[in-house]
Amino acid sequence: MTTNDVLRNLTEYNIWANWRVLKSFDRIEGDLPDYAQLMFSHVLNAQAIWIARITGTKSPVTVLQRHTLHELHQLHEQTSAKLAEIYDQADDAELNRTIEYTNTQGKAYSTKVQDILTHAINHATYHRGQVARELRLAGHEPINSDYVTYVRIRYGQDLEI
């Protein structure tokens, strides 16, 4: 498997894992645990911000903007697949293109597109773990969003969805 295959798998995994978190939120009666909602909002906000940086557009969200469940579904639809699309449409020159941007604290950086995509997925995985912890602390069973679970399901070794 090449590095490109790994990144393609990770972008597809990210769509699946974010969808799983949303499905677990859908099953919660009443209000979502506050910090879980904030952290998953942050996951999707960060995706939107990175997409805006890559595409040279203005982000529609801020880094810690909180969203309703309905808005989370919409933002997932707008951003998770877009990261995979950016990857799928990129050639080597695009993946190695350096993006100049200013972070949320006003510090200037430059980062390659492939590193941004890898970061966005890794960042989401980290915060999905925080969401799972918060759900458990609030008495809810968190969903399994592990990469290996995704691979098992993808290749028919596990029928859990």
Under a CB-based contact definition with an 8 Å cutoff, are residues 63 and 49 in contact? yes
Output the six-digit token pair for 121: 């997925």
- Give the Cα separation of 114 and 7 in Å (integer): 8
Bridge partners of 102, per DSSP, are 108
Annotated binding site: 42, 123, 127
Cα gap 27→30, rounded to integer Å:
9
Handedness of CA 54, 60, 62, 67 (dihedral sign): negative
Residue 73, number of CB atoms within 10 A of its CB: 17
Return binding residues for a divalent metal cation.
42, 123, 127
